[in-house]
Amino acid sequence: MIGPHEESALAQQYDLIIVGAGMVGATLAMALADSPLRIALLDAVALDRPVTRQLTASGYDPRVSALSAASERIFTRLGVWQLIDAQARCAYRHMHVWDADGTGDIHFDAHSLNENRLGHIIENQRIQQALLDALRGTRVSLLGSRRVEALVKEEHGWRLGLANGERLYAPLIVAADGGRSQLRELAGFAMREWDYLHSAIVTTVQVTQPHQDTAWQRFLPSGPLAFLPLPDVEGRHYCSVVWSLLPEQAQRVMALDDTSFAGEIGEAIERRVGRVLAVDARHCIPLRQRHAKDYVMHGLVLVGDAAHSIHPLAGQGVNLGLLDAAELTDVLTAALQRGETLSDLAVLQRYERRRMGANLGMMAAMEGFERLFHADALPLRWLRNAGMQWLDQQAPLKSIVMRRAMGLEGRLPSLARSPDPYAETD
């Protein structure tokens, strides 16, 4: 399927180039690895050595993801889940959410859904390393330490100009290079974006009590605070922390010494996991929501954070991106079987139609929650507390909400549909 350009040391032709070897881009490459397409996975970081992890006192990288059941299915079917050390996967079976300004309280329990877990908390580095390890056994070309400088539309597709002088050609290019996607900017995709006027403080803490396989989330007037469970290490208990704060509050909290920060964050979570004994280095990340007005143009596709970035309130960002990759796999695979041209806009718009509505729906829900829990008006505070109490008592409705968030119900791409990796998906 190679096009008109001859290969040379500085000019290489592919059928598909995926720019960005993070979790979403690498998942897409793995999902299409057995296709007849000649695929390159390109990234500015080296792909021929272990993924860099931050050295911390706890041993945990602060970058973690809350993977849904749908994401677990995708990785299982691709043979990637088995490559993630079981000791590094922390299943959580409960989720406890409560309002600091009232009596609102909701508890989600996996057993009530006839499931043995709601999801897993895993370091991003572990996931990405497993994906790259799996890809090394495929025909996908891993092009690391390469930085894109130019994107040019040509008669037969696109040309990528790299900083090292290489030129790469392909009729179809996928931008999976994150929320600040350079490829998206070079292509000229229009965006809708706005600041949340909050920053997220991210770190890992050691606590005195077991986390009870529970994801704890308290809505404070300043913003939501989450303690996410991590695996115990030699009897020591750890949680990953994400605390959303107004910028001036975030600056104050970042300036605290470790002892003062440990005391304040322990009080903020109402010591549900005991005292905070130790904290890793803190990272402060401005929160901004972005959504592309279009996900596709002729021969070019946005996936994951390049297409949409969302508030970390419910940990859905990476799960949405993995569903993007799985859906695009379905679209391209079906088009190959029909003998269609993969770069055609009509083909790529099938992916856009299937994913844009789902992504916008989740983003709207998170935006609504974020605004509701920051509302100070007494009627709205009463409404949210009464609503939480009411929902907690509606077992069937609560089950529907949670099963949809876990990817157990609703329209799903084939890789995410069945818990049995050998089951039929049609």
Does residue 246 sit within a domain? no
Rounded to 5 degrees, φ, ψ at 290 are -135, 145
Q: What is the pLDDT of residue 418?
A: 66
Does residue 282 sit within a domain? no
Q: What is the pLDDT of residue 364?
A: 61
Does residue 161 sit within a domain? yes
Place of tokens 């990953």: 240
Q: What is the pLDDT of residue 384?
A: 56
Q: What is the pLDDT of residue 99?
A: 82
Buried b (16+ CB within 10 A) or exposed e, 148-177: beebeeeeebbbbebeeebbbbbbbbbbbb
Q: What is the pLDDT of residue 419?
A: 54
Does residue 353 sit within a domain? yes
Does residue 74 sit within a domain? yes
Task: Report the CATH number at residue 142.
Answer: 3.50.50.60
Q: What is the pLDDT of residue 222?
A: 83
Q: Which domain holds residue 103?
A: 11-193+288-416
Q: What is the pLDDT of residue 6?
A: 37
pLDDT in tens, 252-310: 999 999 999 999 999 999 999 999 999 999 999 998 888 999 999 999 999 999 999 88
Does residue 214 sit within a domain? no
Encoding tokens for residue 99? 């309002």
Report the domain count for the chain: 1
Residues of the chain with pLDDT under 50: 2-9, 373, 375, 377-378, 382, 421-426
Does residue 244 sit within a domain? no
Does residue 183 sit within a domain? yes
Tell me the pTM. Answer: 0.90
Q: What is the pLDDT of residue 359?
A: 82
